[in-house]
Structure 1
Amino acid sequence: MEQNDIPQRSSTGVPGLDDVLHGGLLSHRLYLVDGNPGAGKTTLALQFLREGVRNGERCLYITLSETRAELVAGALSHGLSLDGVDIEELIGHEGGFDGEAELTMYHPSEVELTETTRQVLQAVQRVEPSRMVFDSLSELRLLAQSSLRYRRQILALKQFFAARRCTVLLLDDRTAEGPDLQLQSIAHGVISLDQHAPSYGQTQRQLQVVKFRGSDFRSGFHDMCIRCGGLQVFPRLAAADHDGDFVREPVPSGVVALDALLGGGIDRGTTTLLLGPPGSGKSTVALQYAHAAALRGAHAAVFAFDESRAILLARCQGLGMPLVEGLGVGQVQVRQIDPAEIAPGEFAAMIRVAVEQRDARVVVIDSLNGYLNAMPDGRFLTAQLHELLAYLNHRGVATFLVAAQSGLLGPNMQSPVDASYLADSVVVMRMFEHDGRVKKAISVFKKRSGRHEETIRQIWFDAGGVHLSAPLAGLRGVLAGVPVSSGVHVTGGILDSATGPAGTPP
């Protein structure tokens, strides 16, 4: 293809949308943006025109539904300025309430449609815009009355704009009965905005590119949000698009006995699932890896769904592993996540920023239960989680996923979702009763990237950090919660009061 034959692209000015469109809209074409009232159509259009003004292009906004004052006020609420954007206000016509205006051989709608079309063409000829927004098609549809006349009117406008090398957004609020497939067939591209209000929490918004002639695009639904500054799209994460080269090397925990249990440590580019009942120490083990990474001069990121940031930091301080907060090397980013206020796509975007912009080597997601609550539909949890973990693995990140199981003792504890097959390593933590005291045990059930111990060790935490005993060879039934002695004496184990490899078991 000749260089001159490559179609030009027009950036939308919406963060994330150009990624979905693989570079932006194809210039000098006509696009439909549809969605229910309040979905964000006008906000997207204003950002599109602001991007044109930044690029030195002439921009025109033709409104049939909102006044100039309403548009300016809406833009200011998002921190946007309409300076440099020509606004043509076509709301009603003079004489609309004049009794003499009703004395005509033509239906009033025919007169209004002709007059509206004439004013649109005059505005375009006067401004000669490179970008234009027409808001909205619902008024034009009502004036046309018949679907045939409406289609012919849109086709005429399409040809008019194409001859003037103008990129046009047509906004439609879905007032037609059912999907307006005729309009979608005429447009070069269709961007659909949807919103859903759950029983609790903020409105969940999604964007879908239904059609985009002449270019590939990222299909499917993409989460988005509307905040101060405008609309932001979070492209659906596809792990295959983010493959990277890295040296596969062990990621030590800083606890010798824990690394020995895992056969030398966790490898980069793998996911470790920490399973166990509440209070068994899952989060503390994961945070130990983040703390050790920061001590080595790497960056780590912790995303906490269940625990407040203040309590997490205080707990780490009390366990002798203070976290130095920050976004640079040798620091740990601690981000508290509210499941009711965030979409899965936005959460994935947060992780991408930590990995791609801040070079996070260790990522902790605490917990899977909180992540499940952030999903709009639990049926798609496994698919989205698979893409997220695969992306982190491709980028060489050591990922720790914490999952709390229901129940405290016994082998029949349940997980919120079976994610064990997604993880490269599965570490199981259990509570067990011994000599009238509740103690904790840790074992490794799975490790794809290498060998690991098949033993069970006691684990405990104090002001000195994380400690593991020697293998509990003198007990059987630990995982069942009520072990019995096998009659074997083990030095450094739970049956012996001597000092173990990392301290004295409580």
Structure 2
Amino acid sequence: MEKQNSDTSRFLSTGVPGLDTILGGGLTSDRLFLIEGEPGTGKTTLALQFLYEGVRRGESVIYITLAETRVELKAVAQSHGWSMDGIHVEDIIPNENILHPDHQFTIFHPSEIEMGMTTQRILDTIEKYKPTRVVLDSLSELQLLAESPLRYRRQVLALKQYLSGKGCTTLFLDDRTALSGDLQVRSVAHGVITLELINQDYGSERRRVRIVKYRGIAFRGGSHDYKIVTGGLVVFPRLIAAHTRVHTERKQLSSGIAQLDTLTGGGLDEGTSTLLSGPPGTGKSSLCAQYVYAATQRGQKAAMFLFEEAANNLLLRSTGLGIDLQGAIDSGLLIIKQIDPAEMAPGEFMQSVTDAEAGGARVIVIDSLNGYLKAMPDERFLATHMHELLTYLGQRGVVTILVGVQPGVIGSNMTTTVDASYIADSVIMLRYFEARGKVRQAISVFKKRVGLHERTIRLFTMSAKGIQVGDVLTNFHGILTGIPTFDDSDCHVLFDDENG
């Protein structure tokens, strides 16, 4: 028998870029890999992508099926817009003649006959096409034919040695439908990839891929989200901020409003995250739009991810404040993405944000943090996901602005749904308060990790003239309670304008 390739530095692409990233480059050539998962997880689709990548590179590839027919495989390919040209299919499936009484075995158990016939057809197919990529679907059929664990393990070991000796990189698919759930093949395989299907109480199901084992390779551990779309599997590698540390020169992002920049100590620092917190309607999203507009006016790119408000509503409202976001979109400096949370996994959202950063976005807005956390109630550790994302963006010098909606309108007991000290580097607070018979707004900076900032509370207004940050409310006490006391003699100075 020929010796298998001992070069462990040569990788074959799976045809799925995100999966190649997780695997540390792809699949080691001339080795056996196990793809396991329940029906519906996309094993067949992944296998076809693996073979199509081989066809694209001019390799001989073969799909050996013990369960699905050639017609069924063709239907799967057509659903993704693929052609079966270049993929040799060998369907080793008992035909309808087995139902005839004359073909029922009496002296020998059917498995004793069928196992030998199945194995011989597999070997004959390999000899005929001399493939470099092989898919065997599925192991459950072999396990049932083998009957005993010993015979099953020996059969798999023999196939592994034979295929490796022939220079084949092989995927064994296991749908876990056999009678016993033993781990025979896991110990034999060079690598094990598990596909998981997780049902949600609301929204579409979630799919995750995990590398259980990969000998000699530093793969990216943990669970990674993926989805099946027209065109195959799309994998979203888990974000690990520690792997992307870079050092950049830090500057400050001006809002375009002088008094607001004074309040924040010169502007928002690059590489930091800022939480805009306050009750509904205080102007948090509008303030985000102002920062984005100021950045695009300087020629910087920006991206906004909306969980709650429709993009069209944001554009209309911003236009009413004199903030022309549509012009920034038309010039290619701004992208606004409306997130459908019921259909999006955390990993997919992370990928969208990092893609925006890779596309040059220097300001990224997530509106709102509450919407993100509530959108995926069945997901765990969403706050940790967000912290990792903000760390990644911060290391790359991006200004990230988060919107946090506080329950309640006026009062001192309003709280946020997240730990602001854990999530954000800076916190800008917007508040309602009552004065002279009207509900007014105030703005202040509660926290800033980088540099100094004003500790004052200023008047905040929005009108057709735009966003305005007014004077310090020096004669007021109890602004944060919503019902302050003040020296009435100075009120006309602060509020003597047509907007209240």
User: How many Å apart are 1:214 and its aligned residue?
Assistant: 1.7
Residues 494-505 of structure 1 aligned to structure 2 (within 5 Å):
494=495, 497=496
C-alpha contact (below 8 Å) 2:208/2:223 kept by paired residues: yes
* 8 Å Cα contact 1:325-1:333 kept in structure 2: no
Question: Is 1:386 paired with 2:387?
Answer: yes
Instruction: Give yes or no for contact 2:144–2:179 (8 Å, CA) kept in 1.
Output: no
3-state SS, counterpart of residue 493 of structure 1: helix
Give the superposition deviation at 1:241: 1.4
TM-score, normalised by the number of residues in structure 2:
0.95
1:470 paired residue number? 471
Structural mapping, 1:242-261, within 5 Å = 242-261=244-263
1:158 match: 160
Whole-angstrom distance in 2 between the partners of 1:295 and 1:90: 65
Q: Structure 1 407/179 Cα, relative in aligned 2: closer, same or farther at 3 Å?
A: farther
Name the counterpart of 1:307. 309
Contact 2:201/2:378 (CA < 8 Å) preserved in 1?
no
1:278: which partner in 2?
A: 280
- Give 2:131's aligned residue: 129
Q: CA deviation at 1:53?
A: 0.5
Partner residue of 1:83? 85
% of aligned pairs identical? 52
Task: Show the 5 A alignment for 1:323-472.
Answer: 323-324=325-326, 331-356=333-358, 358-375=359-376, 377-472=378-473
Amino acid at match of 2:188: I
Q: Distance in 2 between matches of 1:448 and 1:311?
A: 33
Q: What is the CA-CA distance between 1:443 and the residue it aligns to? A: 0.5
Any idea what SS the aligned residue of 2:114 has? helix
Shift of 1:80: 1.8
Could you report, residue by residue, the CA deviation over 1:227-263 in whole angstroms, capped at 9, with x for unpaired residues? 1111100000001112223220000000111101001
Is the Cα contact below 8 Å between 1:299 and 1:329 reproduced in 2?
no
Report if the CA contact (8 A) 2:432-2:442 is conserved. Answer: yes
Contact kept? 1:275, 1:428, Cα under 8 Å = yes
* Contact preservation (8 Å) 1:10, 1:24: yes
Q: Which of 12, 15, 24 lines up with 2:14 in the alignment?
A: 12
CA displacement, residues 118-149 of structure 1 (integer Å, 9 cap, x when unaligned): 10110011011000100111111111111111
Contact 1:62 1:135 in 2 (8 A): yes
Q: Which amino acid aligns with 2:14?
A: T
Q: State the alpha-carbon separation in 1 of the partners of residues 224 and 16 from structure 2.
A: 13
Letter aligned with residue 313 of structure 1? L
Give, as a single letter, the amino acid of the residue that structure 1 aligns with 2:65. T
Matched with 1:233 is 235
- 8 Å Cα contact 1:27/1:167 also seen in 2: yes
Q: Which moved more, 1:296-305 or 1:146-155?
A: 146-155
Report how far residue 78 of structure 1 moved: 1.0
Q: Distance in 2 between matches of 1:112 and 1:143?
A: 7
**Partners of 2:345 and 2:209 in 1: how far apart?**
13
- TM normalised by structure 1 equals 0.94
Q: Is residue 473–residue 490 contact of structure 1 (8 Å, CA) maintained in 2? A: no
- Deviations 1:174-209 (CA, angstroms, capped at 9, x unpaired): 114564311111111111011112121111111101
- Report 1:40-189 matches (<5 A): 40-93=42-95, 95-176=97-178, 179-189=181-191
In the other structure, the counterpart of 2:207 is: 205
Q: 1:376 to 1:216 in 2, by over 3 A?
A: farther
Q: Residue type of the partner of 1:365?
A: I
Q: Structure 2 CA distance, aligned partners of 1:344 and 1:227?
A: 17
Contact 1:243-1:394 within 8 A present in 2 as well: yes
Please give the secondary structure, in 2, of the residue aligned with 1:479.
helix
Cα offset for 1:94?
Answer: 6.8
- Is 1:33–1:192's contact at 8 Å kept on the other side of the alignment? yes
1:380–1:178 CA distance, 2 compared to 1 (3 A): farther
Select which of 23, 26, 30 maps to 1:24.
Answer: 26
Q: Secondary structure at the match of 2:226?
A: strand
Deviation at 1:422, TM superposition (A): 2.4
Q: Contact conserved, 1:324 with 1:331, CA < 8 A, in 2?
A: no
Q: Distance in 2 between matches of 1:476 and 1:421?
A: 29
Displacement of 1:99: 2.7
> SS of the residue aligned with 1:16?
helix
Greater shift in the superposed pair: 25-34 or 92-101: 92-101
Q: Give the whole-Å Cα distance in 1 for the aligned partners of 2:61 and 2:377.
A: 38
Task: Show structure 1 runs of 5+ residues with no match.
Answer: none
Query: Quick check: 1:410–1:480 contact (8 Å CA) kept in 2?
Result: yes
Task: State the alpha-carbon separation in 2 of the partners of residues 449 and 155 from structure 1.
Answer: 60
Structure 1 residues 407 and 177: CA distance shift in structure 2, 3 A:
farther
Q: Distance in 2 between matches of 1:376 and 1:55?
A: 43
CA RMSD of aligned residues (A): 1.8
* SS of residue in 2 equivalent to 1:161: helix
Partner of 2:3: none
Contact 1:296 1:330 in 2 (8 A): no
2:298 is matched with which residue?
296
The secondary structure found in structure 1 opposite 2:201 is coil
**How many Å apart are 1:307 and its aligned residue?**
0.3
> Of 307, 317, 320, which aligns to 2:319?
317
Q: CA deviation at 1:317?
A: 0.8
CA distance in 1, matches of 2:162, 2:405: 61
Q: Secondary structure at the match of 1:389?
A: helix
What do residues 263-301 of structure 1 show as CA deviations (whole Å, max 9, x unaligned)? 111110000011111111111111111111011001000
Cα deviation, residue 451, structure 1: 0.5
Q: What count of residue pairs does the alignment treat as equivalent? A: 495
Distance 1:284 1:179, change over 3 A: farther
| Unpaired segments ≥5 residues, structure 2 | 1-5
**What is the distance in 2 between the residues matched to 1:87 and 1:505?**
75
Q: Name the amino acid aligned to 2:202.
A: Y
- Following the alignment from structure 1 to structure 2, what is the Cα–Cα distance between the partners of residues 297 and 277? 32
